[in-house]
Amino acid sequence: MLVWLGENINMEEKIVMIINKMADYLNVSQMKKLQEVLLQTFSENSISKEETSNDEYLRMFLDAKKIEGCSARTIQYYSATVERMLQNIKHPIRKISTEDIRKYLVDYQKINDCSKVTIDNIRRNISSFFSWLEEEDYILKSPMRRIHKIKTKQPVKEIISDEAIELLRDNCECIRDLAMIDLLYSTGIRVGELVNLNITDVDFEARECIVFGKGDKERKVYFDAKAKLHLQDYLKKRDDNNPALFVSLDAPHNRLKISGVEIRIRTLGRKLNMEKIHPHKFRRTMATRAIDKGMPIEQVQKILGHSQIDTTMQYAIVNQTNVKTSHQKFIA
């Protein structure tokens, strides 16, 4: 039917020519449908076109995410989430519909009895995959467009009080743990950033250090006088040559791992009968303190290393006491 267009014109050019000729006769919705039908027909009937497998699409997507700087942990999560979905639906990528994915998410929640937060995380990962396919022109339209964010309860997460911080400090069994707590509390860095710090990353005179956050993004963070003194005391007592800022207490004094920090802090919290004390809670506490004291949210965002300010807003819990004080000041 379209032989007159010539063999040297590729499929995309043919479709563009047809759509341009029909532009005066169809509305936007009809034009989109025409484009979809043409692309689908040409894809199915073209002898020269090799069908790309679902596994190959997933591999290309993961490669793109690696180039964007996503961590190995994030890549692994993308891979597991999308692969599980593709294995369940079993359709070629181009033929997966909104209803297919919606049914998959509903069934997944029923079978695994998981929370809405978990399902929304899965939805978000699958959405990233199909959005990438759409951007790269592998599909015309993402089937995730009509599957919106799942509403979840947003419980107010507690922060560590000033009294609790002092108790934690007073009950540290070694200077290393005291230095760790002070650095987490004053900088708000992630536990992964903490364990990756080297001694040479710290500028004691300026009371700042360079950390590499998600996607290997470099930023400066700042610590207080207490953290400086305790860090210096800790380093003076070290007798190893490891460049890491924090190392294990026992020989051969290897770089401390994330699990090591988490276990140490959780154990200390349980010993003092404190609920859910973990490294990330120091980060949330720092953000809340900063905003309560008047630091602009944009500056808090920069210190925490967030690419989106919405993420910072989730960390920054409004202190209820401050709300009451402000009400009495401005309203009552």
Residue owning tokens 């959005």: 131
Structure tokens at 93: 């990528």
Q: Is residue 321 part of a domain?
A: yes
Task: Tell me, yes or no, whether 157 lies in a domain.
Answer: no
169 located within any domain: yes
Query: Tokens representing 12?
Result: 């995309």
| Whether 115 and 12 share a structural domain | no
Sheet of 202-203, strand order: 202-203, 208-212, 218-222
DSSP result, 314-325: HH-PPPHHHHHH
Residue 148, in any domain of the structure = no
- Is residue 150, in this structure, part of any structural domain at all? no
Residues 200 and 301 in one domain: yes
The answer to whether residue 149 is domain-embedded is: no
- Contact assessment for residue 148 and residue 252, using Cβ atoms and an 8 Å cutoff: no
**Torsion region of 141: left, alpha or beta (phi above 0 gives left; psi -120 to 50 gives alpha):** beta
Specify if 155 maps to a domain. no
Q: One-letter amino acid identity for 247?
A: V
User: In this model, does residue 35 exceed pLDDT 90?
Assistant: no
Please state the domain count of the chain. Answer: 3
- Shared domain for 28 and 62, answered yes or no, is no
Domain CATH code at residue 114: 1.10.150
pLDDT tens, residue by residue, 229-252: 999 999 999 999 999 999 999 889
CA distance 85 to 183: 41
Q: How confident is the model at residue 175 (pLDDT cuts 50, 70, 90)?
A: very high
252: cis peptide before it, omega within 30°? yes
Residues 93 and 59 reside in one and the same domain: yes
Report which listed range, 43-47, 101-105, 308-312, is most confident: 101-105
Instruction: In whole angstroms, give the CA distance from residue 75 to residue 63.
Output: 9
Same domain, 188 and 100: no
Q: Are residues 297 and 248 in the same domain?
A: yes
Which stretches of 112-207 are assigned E, i.e. beta strand? Answer: 202-203
The CA-atom distances, in angstroms, between 279 and each of 64, 160, 193, 299 are: 31, 11, 11, 22
DSSP track, 26-73? S-HHHHHHHHHHHHHHHHHH-SSPPPPPHHHHHHHHHHHHHHHT--HH
Are both 319 and 254 inside the same structural domain? yes
Task: Report the C-alpha gap between 30 and 11 in whole angstroms.
Answer: 20
Dihedral angle sign, alpha carbons of residues 239, 210, 74, 68: negative
Quote the CA–CA distance of 232 and 236 in Å, as a whole number: 6
Q: Give the structural domain span for 166.
A: 162-328
Kindly state whether residues 306 and 268 are assigned to the same domain. Answer: yes
The answer to whether position 90 is within a domain reads yes
Q: Note the pLDDT of residue 28.
A: 76
Helices (H) and strands (E) in the chain, counts: 15, 3
**Could you give the CA distance from residue 85 to residue 147 in angstroms, rounded to a whole number?**
15
120, 135, 150 — which closes off a domain? 135
- In this structure, the answer to whether residues 30 and 66 fall within a common structural domain is no
171 shares its domain with 305: yes
> Per mean pLDDT, which range of 180-184, 268-272, 299-303 is the poorest?
299-303
> Going by DSSP bridges, is the β-strand pair 208-212/218-222 parallel, antiparallel, or unpaired?
antiparallel
pLDDT value for 30: 80
Q: How confident is the model at residue 89 (pLDDT cuts 50, 70, 90)?
A: very high
Q: What is the pLDDT of residue 294?
A: 82
Q: What is the DSSP letter of 255?
A: B
Instruction: Pick from 70-84, 130-144, 224-238, 287-301 the range whose average pLDDT is largest.
Output: 224-238
Please give the DSSP secondary-structure letter assigned to residue 161: -
State whether 38 and 64 are in the same domain: no
Q: Which residue type occupies 121?
A: N
β-pair partners for 222: 208
* Interval 101-151: pLDDT, tens: 999 999 999 999 888 888 889 999 999 999 999 998 888 889 998 888 877
CA angle 223, 318, 292 (to 5 degrees): 40
Same domain, 167 and 316: yes
- Kindly list the catalytic residues: 190, 214, 280, 283, 306, 315
